[in-house]
Structure 1
Amino acid sequence: MHPIQPHRPTRSTLRSLAPAVLLALAAQAQAQDPTAITINGQRVFQITAQTTFELDGTPISAATAATLGPGFSTLVLATNVPDGANQGQAQQVQFDNLARGPVTATDPLSVLNQPLTLTADTVLEGFTDPTTLVVGDLLEVSGYLDADSGVISASRVVLLTNPTQDWKLVGQVSQATANGFAIGAQAVDSTGVTPTECPLGVIDGVYVELEALPNPAYTAASVLDQLIELHCEDPNFGNPPPGTVTASLEGLISALPDPLPDPPSFSLLGVTVQATAQTEYRGGGIDDLDVGVRVEAEGSFDSSTQILTAHEIRFTQAQARFMAPLDSADITPDEGVTIMGNLVAFTPQTRDEDGLAANGLSQMTQVEVRAFVDSDGSLYASRIRERGNPDLTDTRLQGPVAEIAEPVLTILGNSVDTSAAQFRDHEDNLITAMEFYALLQVGMVVSAEDALYDPVTASLIPARIHLEDAPAPQNRAGKGVGQG
């Protein structure tokens, strides 16, 4: 797939600290300000003389940390954290990469045979255009592991101009034998290295981090050998303090029950996220929870059960959804789909149970596309499905509201006339049009459902309008919930 090319903490030595504790795993961490580290632009933790730093498990100075730049997947342990988990004093900060090694393919861009998804939100260092990269270039990648597809959703990619002392790869083990295993499409020979922190051994399903000596003769067909370190690890919080702590965890949904319970629950690799009736959703709704979707869950984490009870679930990229008739010309296999006037790119993470992204269409068909929107407004398909016979009277459009001219909304370039619609809020309560427009703000995600769609005028008349976003939260009283 070649259109748009578009974690993990390392072994942790975290210790139990003061009663108010935060565990945060999130990309776009910025430490250039020597007095604070910012997570995703909204969680700010003060750096003190006692704050310690690690880069891929190696201690570094505060001065070095301040030069690293944004985009790292980062673990922060902090004290004096209020219930909203948006501030505190950083005690330990760990910056982590998932892969370091040569480019093995450019379509899709891959490192050590691990496909990458890049978007406008990916921080690029040492280059500006992914299409200029060639096989053999050395890259360092931070981001999120998609356990379902084996793809790395990259938050930061650095082009290394000098040889490195080691290559690195983090991922889930498959095809394990006595002397080797695979991480995605990369075969690994573990002869001569003793695994550590693997109580069950290196078996299928466990997550490992490996380091290997660089091999000048390595190609995409090579077995990765000459390992110098191999250990199993928790891909999320590492070794958290005991008891219940305030936590924020960001990642790609790795599993969710079918059918989805109410309130929902899902997995972020090894952590179960449990919503409640009071959980608020931002950037999307319960229906948008799906394998491979990137979310940030904030709430209370119980280290004994590995359950995070979520006060808030935020879709870090606004969720879009389309359902409309498509013809064969609307899908370019392995590249993208044009639906309701929007170009949606396929990525290595696009789920394609019906083969539409791979093979296209042979006739007019009703198609549903789930997607996310990056900071540049580009759309990337997370899933594409056939939905039966074409029907312009049963369409759907969901996305951020760009313009409000009551009773008309503009969503993803389409005009949505809400005059005859039934309105529901983010909790699925029936509300009036007046109440809906009082809550609505530009940028909120709205779903127009059971709609009559006119492709000529790019307009919809929906039977139902659903506000997917919760209103802006009020500040909760600051209090520590950690124990230990």
Structure 2
Amino acid sequence: MKNRLAVLLALLVPAVPAVADEFIDIQGHPVWVDSSTTIVVDDEVLPPGSPIPQTPGLRAEARFPTASAAQPGPHGVVPAATIVFSYAVRGSVTSTNPLRVLGQEVTVTADTGSTGLPGGNIGNIALGDHLDVSGYVDTNSSLLASYIEYLPTPTPRWLLSGYVTAVNGAEIMLGPQRVSLAGVSPIDCGASVDVGEFLEIRADAIPNFTAGSVLDTVTRLTCVVPVPLGTPGALGALTGIVGTILSNTSFQFGPYAVSYDANTEFRFGSADDLAPGAAAEIDGVFGPGLTFVAQGIQFDAPIIRIEGPVFPADVVPGGNGTVHVLANTVRRAAQLRDEDLVYANGINQARQVEVRGYLDRQGNRWATRARLRGGPDAADSRAVGPVDSVNRPLLSVLGLTLDTTAAVAYEDPAGNPIDADTFFLGALPGAIVEQNGAWDGVGTLTGGVVALIMGVDPPPPEGPQRSLIVGRFGGGDRVFADGFD
């Protein structure tokens, strides 16, 4: 399987000439660009001085020269050898509830960058509109969008990326989207296209394309790897979505089996939050045989866990469904794992419901997992999230008051017992804490066990040069100069 890097850049994206010496931001990592850096757009190498996208939110990949060939620039920083900007899907909207583009469900949060949306709101998108979506592809045929562009003029060329979920003779499925292989010669797919392979599909546009239409205008179909391959022994920083959990110390992340241990540093969550559908950045070392040893794991957004009594009226099922639990309304993300069909079908009697997910930058709650935990039990409720304010013995978390007055125990991030003083030294605004206690039915949790999940720590220093950085484009010097942050 060949590691092709595919990118689609819309003609309407604002662009500026490349500057010989410039820092850009990829997932919080400064990346140095100079005249030797190759910029790749839509499988083509841009000539020096060509426009490059200045659209924060685009998925970007920066690859650096090998250690033997690395030559630091005037700032003592090695410039990137290649930078690739990419989209995951481009084409017609086939559903608005939930939002799907060419059958692929898309999560759009307050963290998603956008251009040209009618009225500036994703809710104004209609069936048949054309969108470019950049972001991270989940194994459940969904996308966590980092950037979306509305195309007022339908584009003649479509792009579809994702995992094969079914093969039926000369037709395959990427989630609900049917794709015809008739007359298509797959590239880098071996003897056949199989379930689980990751594809990049280019196709001509089809007028009046709907959710039930077959994509039968394929011009190129390639088996690719969803995360670029790194050099064994080299450092890397990869961003994407957690796949299958392989063991209590490893999980699938694109093509890699990622392992972690007690020395792995976590931010915005803990090892307990590593679950399918979670978006994260992983820093570490590439190993042999598509393995990756994690030195640090940072969730893309602060994690939340909420468990408590839920009544049938508290659940709005469907593609844009919500669950109201412990005074919090949690939206369904496309990356949701809903084994008990809470969001899919609702509930017909009061139950104890656990929801796990994350907060976007506007404080919206998003669910990536929901489970039934038996009958309703207000005395065994739980809230996990970032601290908003502290007035000992009270903490404000997720709009709730966590009252620790009658707490029976305090724990540190490793689960070891600590005293109240030690807990409150770490439970500062921004820290992530947990209380497993009694819910009063209004807005307060009391008693039980109180734990510090993650303290407020400064981000780690950049450290040694990475060979590969994959993540969200945050802009360049000129963007920052215009006030972007």
Q: Would you call these one fold, judging by a TM-score over 0.5? A: yes
Quote how far apart the aligned CAs of 1:119 are: 0.7
2:364 counterpart of 1:378: yes
Q: Per-residue CA shift, 1:396-431, capped at 9, x if unaligned?
A: 000110001122111011111223432222222322
2:430 counterpart of 1:439: no
State the partner residue of 2:4: 11
Residues 35-434 of structure 1 aligned to structure 2 (within 5 Å): 35-40=22-27, 42-61=28-47, 64=50, 66-78=52-64, 89-127=79-117, 128-147=120-139, 149-237=140-228, 239-240=229-230, 242-257=231-246, 260-261=247-248, 264-302=249-287, 304-334=288-318, 335-421=321-407, 422-434=409-421
Q: Which runs of 5+ in 2 are unaligned?
A: 7-14, 71-76, 469-485
Specify the SS of the correspondent of 2:421: helix
Specify the SS of the correspondent of 2:361: coil
Q: Which runs of 5+ in 1 are unaligned?
A: 1-8, 14-29, 82-86
Determine the C-alpha separation between the residues in 1 that align with 2:462 and 2:254.
31
Paired amino acid for 1:269: G
Specify the SS of the correspondent of 2:144: strand
State the partner residue of 1:84: none
Q: Which moved more, 1:371-380 or 1:199-208?
A: 199-208
Alignment CA distance shift 1:164-1:281 (3 Å): same
Contact 2:316–2:346 (CA<8 Å) still a contact in 1?
A: yes
Determine the C-alpha separation between the residues in 2 that align with 1:354 and 1:31.
49
Q: Per-residue CA shift, 1:174-197, capped at 9, x if unaligned?
A: 332553311111111122232112
Determine the C-alpha separation between the residues in 2 that align with 1:31 and 1:426.
46
The percentage of aligned residue pairs carrying the same residue is 32
Q: Per-residue CA shift, 1:63-92, capped at 9, x if unaligned?
A: 5554341111111113589xxxxx853221
Quote how far apart the aligned CAs of 1:368 are: 1.0
Q: Per-residue CA shift, 1:81-105, capped at 9, x if unaligned?
A: 9xxxxx8532211111111111111
Determine the C-alpha separation between the residues in 1 that align with 2:372 and 2:87.
37
Quote how far apart the aligned CAs of 1:200 are: 4.6
Alignment CA distance shift 1:482-1:71 (3 Å): closer
Q: Per-residue CA shift, 1:340-367, capped at 9, x if unaligned?
A: 1111112333222222212322222211
Q: Per-residue CA shift, 1:293-352, capped at 9, x if unaligned?
A: 1111111112x3211111111111111111111222211222211111111112333222
Task: Give the alignment's TM-score, normalised by structure 1.
Answer: 0.85
Specify the SS of the correspondent of 2:189: coil
Determine the C-alpha separation between the residues in 2 that align with 1:412 and 1:461.
15
Contact 2:128–2:208 (CA<8 Å) still a contact in 1?
A: no
State the partner residue of 2:478: none
Specify the SS of the correspondent of 1:50: coil
Determine the C-alpha separation between the residues in 2 that align with 1:475 and 1:77.
21
Alignment CA distance shift 1:179-1:326 (3 Å): closer
Determine the C-alpha separation between the residues in 1 that align with 2:39 and 2:81.
9
Determine the C-alpha separation between the residues in 1 that align with 2:212 and 2:176.
9
Specify the SS of the correspondent of 2:343: helix
Determine the C-alpha separation between the residues in 1 that align with 2:300 and 2:51.
25
Aligned length: 443
Quote how far apart the aligned CAs of 1:482 are: 6.4
Contact 2:203–2:220 (CA<8 Å) still a contact in 1?
A: yes
Alignment CA distance shift 1:10-1:107 (3 Å): farther
Task: Give the alignment's TM-score, normalised by structure 2.
Answer: 0.85
Quote how far apart the aligned CAs of 1:473 are: 5.0
